[in-house]
Amino acid sequence: MAATSSDSGPITGINMTPFVDIALVLLIIFIVTAKLVVTPSVPLDLPQAKKSEEVQTVLSVVITAEGNILANGAPMADEGALVGLARSYLERDPEIRVVIAADGAVLHRKVIEVLDALRMAGISRVAFGVSPNETEDR
């Protein structure tokens, strides 16, 4: 007797084995890369700041060529007004620093008067602002 097959017609089903293999490989790749993205490469234990450095208060005093006094950009009527303003700054911050920027045409007497006014207010930390020299000394 000869064996005969009853399935001699065309193949009508879809072979799912290659599709499942590719889907599983892609799933494994996504799982591995997702885990790499979430975890940091180098674990760090950063120190916590207990206290930040305080910003120093600076009072800027400008003496114009005409002899006018400006404190933080505000014009002062005279040295007495500067004393009052400097005392109010000193009460807020005892470590206040004053920077005096005087025009080159200002008489030294005017700068000394401003220094005396600041000393009467109780300011002891005074610095002088200068412009950088544009030409090199030869």
Domain CATH code at residue 100: 3.30.420.270
Structure confidence by residue, pLDDT tens digits, 101-110: 988 888 889 9
- pLDDT value for 115: 92
Does residue 119 fall inside a structural domain? yes
Order the strands of the 58-63 sheet from edge to edge. 74-76, 69-71, 58-63, 97-102, 126-128
Whether 138 has a pLDDT exceeding 50, the answer reads no
Report the domain count for the chain.
Answer: 1
**In the structure encoding, which two tokens stand for residue 126, read together?**
């005074």
Within a domain: 124:
yes
Q: What are phi and psi of 58, to 5 degrees?
A: -125, 130
Q: Three-class SS of residue 68?
A: coil
The pTM of the full predicted model, rounded to 2 decimals, is 0.55
Query: What share of the chain has pLDDT > 90, as a percent?
Result: 28
Residue 123 lies in a domain: yes
Residue 64 lies in domain = 58-128
Residue 19 lies in a domain: no
